[in-house]
Amino acid sequence: MSSSDPTAATVRSPRRALGWGFFLSELGVLFRRRRTQAMLGALAAVPILIAVAIRVTGGDGRGPAFLDRISQNGLFVGMTALVVSIPLFLPLTVGVVAGDSVAGEASTGTLRYLLVSPVGRIRLLVVKFASAVVFCLAATLTVSLAGILAGAVLFPIGPVTLLSGNTVDVGEALLRALLISVYVALGLVGLAAIGLFISTLTDAPVGAMAATVVVAILSQVLGQLSQTELLHPFLPSYHWLDFADLLRQPIDWSSFAGNAWLQLAYVAIFGTLSYARFATKDVLS
């Protein structure tokens, strides 16, 4: 029991921090968590399983895009794995992280302590969303990197022939793989914003996670139906598989830009909704 506490004026920071420290702490909590590590591990397992399966069977038969190229060039493992993960695995993990963002804090009772610490409500939303975006990138990079490593171990690595017919060396091919990872991550950002909004609606994280994943699946189902063709360009999953343009020489950026604008629109809409919902919400959890 010390009675020699310095006065508040002497220990408070002279200025309020911008929130980088809180952002870093948020990332620390997110990535130190077993659940996050398990999800990234499961994502890394996808390309490894694909690579092993093809190595064992010889890679004949039908399968997702790029599958037939793997046995000639291991660099295609990562791309194949991304194609396989885009419909379910990636949205699932993003749904878990984004759906948990606010509702998870509410259910552990930490939300009220964060808010009185105090972290402003807008700041909290921004930090939660930013860390979900970091997770999107971490998820797609995990798939890509695990794929490239598995491919390098099990298959020959060499110059890559692009869809436009040009051939690029391994270094350039790795850059393209990185670019594709960023593209796929970008495509998930809108879903992360939707998940953040759903997360502000409830104190039950599992419900928010499930609802976010349902949105991702619904979007893809609608994208398959010709009856909903008018809607297609507005679905968050519309550009998910359009990264082939990044495998041309020169790169065709139109789908990248289209993806970016679409996701930005989702972030703007659901960011605003999250703010509207959360800024004045009674936190009773």
Partner 1 sequence: MTAAPAAIQTSGLTKRFGRQTVVDGVDLDVPAGAVFGFLGPNGSGKTTTIRMLLGLANATAGEITVLGERMPGTLGTVLPDVGALIEGPGFYPFLSGAANLARLDAADGWAPRATRRTRVAEALDRVGLTQAGGKKVRAYSLGMKQRLGIANALLMPRQLIVLDEPTNGLDPQGTREVRGLIRSLASTGTTVFVSSHLLAEIEQMCTHIGVMRGGRLVAQGTIDELRAAGQATLHLTVAAPDARLAVRTLAPLGIVVTTAAAPEAQAAEVAPEAAGDTALAAPFPDGLPPEHVVAALVGAGVRVRGVAVDRPSLEDSFVALTGEGFDVVQ
CB of 38 to partner 1, least distance (A): 12
CB of 40 to partner 1, least distance (A): 16
Piece in contact with partner 1 (CB under 8 A), picked from 18-26, 45-53, 77-85, 252-260? 18-26
Should residue 34 be labelled a site residue for partner 1 when binding is judged by CB under 8 A?
yes
Pick out residues in 101-120 that bind partner 1 (CB under 8 A).
108-120
Pick out residues in 189-248 that bind partner 1 (CB under 8 A).
none
CB of 4 to partner 1, least distance (A): 9
Pick out residues in 119-148 that bind partner 1 (CB under 8 A).
119-120
CB of 14 to partner 1, least distance (A): 9
Q: Following DSSP, what letter does each residue of the chain receive, concatenated? A: --S-PPPHHHHS-SS---SHHHHHHHHHHHHHSHHHHHHHHHHHHHHHHHHHHHHHH-S-S--STTGGGTTT-TTHHHHHHHHHHTTTHHHHHHHHHHHHHHHHHHHHTHHHHHHHTT--HHHHHHHHHHHHHHHHHHHHHHHHHHHHHHHHHHS----EE-TTS-EE-HHHHHHHHHHHHHHHHHHHHHHHHHHHHHHHH-S-HHHHHHHHHHHHHHHHHHHH-GGGTTTGGGSTTTTTT-GGGGGSSS---HHHHHHHHHHHHHHHHHHHHHHHHHTT-----
Number of residues that bind partner 1 (CB under 8 A): 40
- The binding site for partner 1 (CB under 8 A) comprises 1-3, 5-8, 11-13, 16-19, 21-22, 24-25, 28-29, 32-34, 108-120, 280, 282-284
